[in-house]
Amino acid sequence: METVIAAVLGLVRTHTALLLPVVCGLAFGESLAFISLLLPATVILIALGGLVGAADVTFWPVWCAAAAGAVMGDWVSYWLGLHYRAVISQQWPLSRHPELLTRGHIFFVRWGAIGVFVGRFFGPLRCVVPLIAGVCDMSQVPFQIANVASATIWALVVLAPGWAAATWLLQ
């Protein structure tokens, strides 16, 4: 088992340049509308946090890559909702439950950016909230402020526990 661990850590150390785009892509997929439901990226990112700590790779660039990917995923989801709201409202599950859009609109009128911020931290909502925010024509500036703030904290929450545990255990 030690040989496998050494090989994996060596791979992470050797290919650090590839680590950043991989982390960014995973966070992007985790935040992108509906793709998040198919991609277990949160679990992978938690594990990558541990690998980064165990391989003694600098944490902050990895954190920036995860935050950037999450921001871009939500931004694309918001944009899709904003520009394709008519098409999206005709797709499942919204086509079968049109009251969801009405409830979504009421939600964004009531909670605004706070709703976007909090939605980032709840798995099934993470990829849907930005899409619905766009469909409901939420103002872009508050959306993006909440998007960037929540992605920054989310990336830290996802990566730091594994990194801290690995760093602490291997000292």
Dist. CA 13–CA 128, nearest whole Å: 35
Name, in order, each residue with C-beta under 8 angstroms of 16's C-beta and a sequence gap of 6 or more: 57
**With left for phi above 0 and alpha for psi between -120 and 50, is residue 56 left, alpha or beta?**
left
- Contact yes or no for 81/100 (Cβ under 8 A): no
Please state the domain extents for the chain: 2-169
Query: pLDDT truncated to tens, each residue of the chain (171 aa)?
Result: 577 667 767 777 777 778 899 999 999 999 998 787 788 788 889 988 988 888 888 899 999 999 999 999 999 999 999 999 888 878 776 778 778 778 777 888 888 899 999 989 987 778 788 998 998 889 999 999 999 999 999 999 999 999 998 888 776
Amino acid at the residue 105: H
Can you tell me whether residue 40 is helix, strand or coil?
Answer: coil
| This prediction's pTM | 0.87
Q: Which residue has the tokens 């939605």?
A: 119
